[in-house]
Chain A
Amino acid sequence: QKEVEQNSGPLSVPEGAIASLNCTYSDRGSQSFFWYRQYSGKSPELIMSIYSNGDKEDGRFTAQLNKASQYVSLLIRDSQPSDSATYLCAHGGGNNRLAFGKGNQVVVIP
């Protein structure tokens, strides 16, 4: 069973601050990891993918992967009200089957 855990409760951050989200996974064989953003009632939207240990930056987003610790994180710098959403961690397996975590809700306070 491929499990993805996102255990933090809702995260409230002031506008302009950094939001930090964490995720752990159980499948040591996973090679691909993703962060999706999901607005209420909408579909998941890919914002970051990461495949190698270390950091990957894309605009205001930075993903960090540590395969030894089975841990992946997402930092959102200069948080904006439009970043208020649920962030889903996922990893990919064979046939591109994605296993999702339950998500972390982020609320950016103006």
Chain B
Amino acid sequence: EPEVTQTPSHQVTQMGQEVILRCVPISNHLYFYWYRQILGQKVEFLVSFYNNEISEKSEIFDDQFSVERPDGSNFTLKIRSTKLEDSAMYFCASSASGSSGNTIYFGEGSWLTVV
């Protein structure tokens, strides 16, 4: 069964450092997303991406965050200068279309710890 894959599964970084989280969406999917979940809290939408540009972003997705699709398979989330409060599980997701109701498939997540 096709799946969304994410690397690394766990990363520890020092405050102020840059972090890049990588994702390979399902191959025939066109819409890509990043969500995050702080420990014990709800899953929160960060950004959606289609046709090589951001289609929507939340208030969480400020200037320290960026996304990129550098080649035909990878989708990355960059956090420029990490803060302690960025510690969370980051989920990449993809869907075949962007219409409301289309199934979104989540990767297993990248657990980011900022120290």
Interface residues of A (CB under 8 A from B): 31-32, 42-46, 49, 51, 88, 90, 92-103
Contacts and interface: CB of A to CB of B under 8 A. Distances in A.
B43 A95 contact: no
B87 to A, nearest CB: 15
Given A32-B100, A44-B91, A95-B55, 5 more contacts: A31-B101, A95-B48, A95-B56, A97-B58, A99-B45
Nearest to B46: A97
B91 A100 contact: no
Interface of B: 31, 33, 35, 41-45, 48, 50, 55-56, 58, 91, 95, 97-109
A96 B99 contact: yes
B79 to A, nearest CB: 19
17 contacts: A43-B91, A43-B107, A43-B108, A43-B109, A46-B104, A46-B105, A51-B101, A92-B100, A93-B100, A96-B100, A96-B102, A96-B104, A97-B58, A98-B43, A98-B45, A99-B45, A100-B44
A37 to B, nearest CB: 11
Q: Which A-B residue pairs are the 7 nearest by beta carbons?
A: A32-B101, A43-B106, A95-B56, A100-B43, A92-B100, A102-B42, A95-B48
A45 B109 CA distance: 12
B101 A97 contact: no
Contacts of B35: 98
A46 B109 contact: no
B8 to A, nearest CB: 15
Given A31-B100, A51-B101, A100 B48 contact: no
A90 B31 CA distance: 18
Contact of A42 (B31, B95, B108): B108
B103 A49 contact: yes
